[in-house]
Amino acid sequence: MSAAQARRPVAGEAGGGGMAARRAIIGWAVRLVRRDQRQQLLALILLTVAVGATVVGAAVAVNTPSKAATTGTFGTANHIISLPGDDPSLSADLAAIKHRLGTIDVIEIRKIATGSAQPVVLQAEDPHGAYGRPMLALVAGRYPTGPDQVAVTGQVATLFDLHLGGAWRASGRSLRVVGRVENPQNLEDAFALVAPGQIISPSQVLVLVRATRSAIDAIDLPAGAAVASAPSPAGGLSPTAIVLALATFGMLFIGLVAVAGFMVIAQRRLRALGMLAAFGATDRHLRLVMIADGVVVGVVAALAGTGVGLAAWAFVVPVLQRSSGHRVVWSDLPWGLVLAAAVLAVVTAAAAAWWPARTVARIPIIAALSGHPGYHRPTRRFAVPGILLLTAGLGFLALAGAGNGSPPLLVVGILGITSGTMFLAPLAITGAAALCSRAPLATRLALRDLARYRSRSGAALAAIFVAIEIAAIVAIGFTARYSNPVDLTGPNLAANELVLYNAPANRDGGVPDTTSITGQDIQRAVRSLGASIHAAVVPLDLAVAPAAPSFGGVKQTAGLYQVTGNRYESAGQVYVATPQLLAHYGINPREIGATADVITSRAGLGTVSNLQLDPYGEGCPTAADCAFAAPKVQVLNRLPGFVDEPNLLITEHAMQALHLHAVPAAWLIKTRRALTPAQINAARQTAITLGGIIDTRGSTPTLSQLRNEAAAAGILLALGVLAMTVGLIRSETAGDLRTLTATGATTTTRRTLTGVTAGALALLGALLGTGAAYLVAIGWFHKTLSTTIDQVPVTDLLLILVGLPAVAFAGGYLLAGREPATVSHQPLE
């Protein structure tokens, strides 16, 4: 040894080089993110969408629940003491309450007849009251201050055709309209506001207080006084918790897709990472390159997603306001959850980058330098844990399906099956490659590359598979759910139908004991409605047993139940099969069997066991004497199938056998085209005058709609993953292509290579995904397999199993023409 200067020892203690090293690595990693933008795009977009959706979802979830029963009634008070308006010692009582409880807020009320079913409330209240303030807002004009001034809500203004500055004669007084007001917590609240003390003889005096119940009970209240307490916050899961749980699951899936993306990026950087290791970077440094990348992607997605979400929320606000019935303020969203979603996005991206980071850091330096993707453990090794996980998943699902459907078990089961299938995915790839070992050159080469670059194709396959699995679970699950003949699900009515119920109770299968309006009046009003909106009107009758007891002035009607132990599951509204109703659906009474008790459009109902036709509804005096076991069910396809349509009818035969009589309860009103808002409003007005209510088509989608949407979403997602990974897998093997071209292969070969790569991944993903989904379904529904799984969603499965691979192949084939351009830059890395 020559130069003997004092030098550091050659070998020494281990160590990372501290902050300076980390900064250098991160600096380089951030530059690489910019270089590899295209590869990050899918993960970035998915995370952005997830954060945005979480923000909007959280905002909607928090702002949707009706506040009518809480702040819409109580304001910031927790109790309302209601005093009768004719309390002779009213002012003394109010003074006593004030003395005991401190601050109080008094609202005087008087109902005024309007000639319509809905009364309008005249309300004397201090707009700046201590507790009532949140329930009052000025829309236009000003609050009433003087004796003859009034401010009204929009509904009252419409009802009485009132305008600002105009006059209103109400309950014998002439009032000047000085303002428009509303209850922002309950926009349905219709009232007229006057200044405090301006109601001469209130029918009721409400005292809003904040006090303990015992403090209120200690006060000596006058006769006729009542105390109402604000409902305590609902137990169970809060909407934010549900949104957070959903967001976590969504991110979990996106994390999987992102793993595929980062795996591709890691492989792209393999040579660079090998060099970095050769220059003395530790494993931790190598991982940092990838994880920094993940964090950058996560932060960008978190910021962009929050921005997009907040902007989208601004558009949702007015829509939500209309549907929720209370004012919705843009800034009123759960900021904690928004922050959580952003953090979750960063964590997801970083975690997704971790696995590829670990994988590349473990590849021997020399292998990395030559771009070799490292050595794979034989795929057989994965088979045993894969099968074990599958079995365990099935077991959990079976347990979940056997009990009352415990959600944790269901989730664990689905996760077991999903992860088990993932373990088997590499096996599927090598299997496919082996199967095609005699295929034409392009196909053989494509599949061999998939098997060779398994760490990359495996992650892509996993992401595709999960997308398809979720879509297929949704399709199968909804098919099973929708096919439950007892608990009917689906749209309630067609778009051209509405049902007008004579009384709110009729809607729930009850008949009020007394009605102020005679049957003939109702009939006349409904017929004239039908004529004015050009609609067919079909009366719907409920079957009532004379002996049926009534509860709260409402008599239960005959119903069909599935009885399991002492649990009664109602099959829904049972109408009487009147000749008129049958005629409307073109059914000849002679088609109905002489002994049939019930006719229905629900195909599965005929085979359901332990049905009971109960003439007393749920109001049986004793269980023994009202159950009419095993009624004879006849299925008639011509009857309608939507939930609120007359799809379940009791026959003349059963009516006589059970001594029931028909009571007019509702009207099916059917126009030729979809109902217009004006027609619906006309029906609503009629309903108000009759004291009834109407029902129109809700938002529940049809089964095929749901299934197609799920399948389309799964396919789109899978195609996105494919687009991202296939191009890369192919461009990594561009060297082969060049050699191929040099030896005389045509462009078709190149196109076929890419097409087969995409198509094969898509087909494998589709097969594994539907397979896993069916396993989930079998585990979950194992007891009722014959009635639930027998309805195969053929179109959707065809779409997934044939459509997806075909589109993937075609896309790969068509887009492969551009490849060499991206290849030219590869050698430097």
Partner 1 sequence: MSLVELRHVSKSYGEGAGAVHALRDVSVSFDAGALVAIMGPSGSGKSTLLTIAGSLEEPTSGEVLVDGVCVSEMSRDAKARLRRRSIGYVFQDYNLLPGLTAVENVALPLELDGVPRKRARSAAMEALEALGVSGRAACFPDELSGGERQRVSIARAVVGDRRVLLTDEPTGALDSANGEAVMGLIRGACRRGVAGVMVTHDRQLASWADDVVLLRDGRIVGPTPPDAPPAPERAR
From 57, 51, 55, 61, select the one nearest 344 (Cα to Cα). Answer: 51
| Binder among 126, 188, 283, 618 for partner 1 (CB under 8 A) | 283
Q: Which is nearer to partner 1, 283 or 618 (CB)?
A: 283
Q: Which pair of structure tokens corresponds to residue 216?
A: 């209120």
Q: Which is nearer to partner 1, 3 or 794 (CB)?
A: 3
E strands in 513-660: 536-544, 550-551, 554-556, 559-564, 567-570, 575-576, 598-600, 611-614, 633-635, 648-650
Does residue number 277 form part of the binding site for partner 1 (CB under 8 A)? yes
DSSP 242-273: HHHHHHHHHHHHHHHHHHHHHHHHHHHTHHHH
- Pick out residues in 237-276 that bind partner 1 (CB under 8 A): 271-272, 275-276
The least CB distance from residue 47 to partner 1, in Å, is 23
DSSP 334-370: -HHHHHHHHHHHHHHHHHHHHHHHHHHHHS-HHHHHT
| Binder among 169, 220, 223, 279 for partner 1 (CB under 8 A) | 279
Q: At how many degrees (to 10) do helices 380-402 and 747-780 cross?
A: 40
The least CB distance from residue 32 to partner 1, in Å, is 5
The least CB distance from residue 133 to partner 1, in Å, is 60
| Binder among 311, 365, 388, 435 for partner 1 (CB under 8 A) | 365
The least CB distance from residue 377 to partner 1, in Å, is 16
E strands in 113-164: 120-125, 137-141, 149-152
Q: Which is nearer to partner 1, 25 or 683 (CB)?
A: 25
The least CB distance from residue 286 to partner 1, in Å, is 9
Which whole-number Å values give the CA distances from 345 to 199, 246, 301, in the listed order? 58, 13, 7
Does residue number 735 form part of the binding site for partner 1 (CB under 8 A)? no
Q: Which is nearer to partner 1, 284 or 444 (CB)?
A: 284
Does residue number 14 form part of the binding site for partner 1 (CB under 8 A)? yes
The least CB distance from residue 282 to partner 1, in Å, is 4
What track of x and - describes contact with partner 1 for positions 675 through 714 (by CB under 8 A)?
Answer: ----------------------------------------
Q: Which is nearer to partner 1, 281 or 807 (CB)?
A: 281
Does residue number 821 form part of the binding site for partner 1 (CB under 8 A)? no
Q: Which is nearer to partner 1, 32 or 666 (CB)?
A: 32
Q: Which is nearer to partner 1, 146 or 364 (CB)?
A: 364
Q: Which is nearer to partner 1, 519 or 735 (CB)?
A: 735
The least CB distance from residue 372 to partner 1, in Å, is 12
Q: Which pair of structure tokens corresponds to residue 818?
A: 């551009």
| Binder among 197, 336, 364, 440 for partner 1 (CB under 8 A) | 364
DSSP summary character for residue 146:
S
Does residue number 280 form part of the binding site for partner 1 (CB under 8 A)? yes
Residues shown for the chain: 829
Let me know the angle formed at the C-alpha of 315 by 309 and 317, rounded to the nearest 5 degrees.
Answer: 100
End-to-end CA distance of the chain: 38
Q: Which is nearer to partner 1, 275 or 680 (CB)?
A: 275
Does residue number 38 form part of the binding site for partner 1 (CB under 8 A)? no
| Binder among 67, 110, 210, 285 for partner 1 (CB under 8 A) | 285
- Scanning 17-25, 79-87, 162-170, 752-760 for contacts with partner 1 by CB under 8 A, the matching segment is 17-25
Does residue number 738 form part of the binding site for partner 1 (CB under 8 A)? no
Residue pair 635/681 in contact (Cβ under 8 Å)? The answer is no
- Scanning 29-37, 294-302, 595-603, 683-691 for contacts with partner 1 by CB under 8 A, the matching segment is 29-37
- Scanning 15-23, 101-109, 427-435, 445-453 for contacts with partner 1 by CB under 8 A, the matching segment is 15-23
From 33, 1, 21, 36, select the one nearest 826 (Cα to Cα). Answer: 36
Residue pair 74/207 in contact (Cβ under 8 Å)? The answer is no
Residue pair 145/239 in contact (Cβ under 8 Å)? The answer is no
Q: Which is nearer to partner 1, 9 or 115 (CB)?
A: 9
Q: 458: which residues sit within 8 A by CB, 6+ positions away?
A: 425, 426, 429
Which whole-number Å values give the CA distances from 555 to 329, 518, 544, 552, in the listed order? 43, 18, 8, 8
Quickly count helices (H) and strands (E) in the chain.
Answer: 28, 24
Does residue number 3 form part of the binding site for partner 1 (CB under 8 A)? yes
Count of residues that interact with partner 1, criterion CB under 8 A: 46
Does residue number 822 form part of the binding site for partner 1 (CB under 8 A)? no
Does residue number 18 form part of the binding site for partner 1 (CB under 8 A)? yes
Residue pair 363/748 in contact (Cβ under 8 Å)? The answer is no
Does residue number 15 form part of the binding site for partner 1 (CB under 8 A)? yes
The least CB distance from residue 256 to partner 1, in Å, is 28
Element (H, E) at 498: strand 497-501
The least CB distance from residue 34 to partner 1, in Å, is 8
Q: Which is nearer to partner 1, 1 or 678 (CB)?
A: 1
Sign of the dihedral defined by the CA atoms of residues 415, 453, 349, 307, in that order: negative
Q: Which pair of structure tokens corresponds to residue 406?
A: 């415990």
Q: Which is nearer to partner 1, 3 or 624 (CB)?
A: 3
Could you tell me the strand order of the sheet in which 550-551 lies? Answer: 510-512, 554-556, 550-551
Residue pair 538/667 in contact (Cβ under 8 Å)? The answer is yes
| Binder among 270, 281, 505, 543 for partner 1 (CB under 8 A) | 281
The least CB distance from residue 361 to partner 1, in Å, is 9
The least CB distance from residue 307 to partner 1, in Å, is 28
Q: Which is nearer to partner 1, 33 or 649 (CB)?
A: 33
DSSP 758-775: HHHHHHHHHHHHHHHHHH
Does residue number 818 form part of the binding site for partner 1 (CB under 8 A)? no
DSSP summary character for residue 109:
E
Which whole-number Å values give the CA distances from 62 to 66, 317, 319, in the listed order? 10, 12, 15
Return the number of other C-beta atoms located less than 10 Å from residue 442's C-beta.
21
Q: How far is the C-alpha of 84 from the C-alpha of 225, rounded, in Å?
A: 6
The least CB distance from residue 379 to partner 1, in Å, is 19
Q: Which is nearer to partner 1, 32 or 412 (CB)?
A: 32
| Residues within the interface to partner 1 (CB under 8 A) | 1-5, 7-21, 23-25, 28, 31-32, 35, 271-272, 275-285, 364-366, 369, 828-829
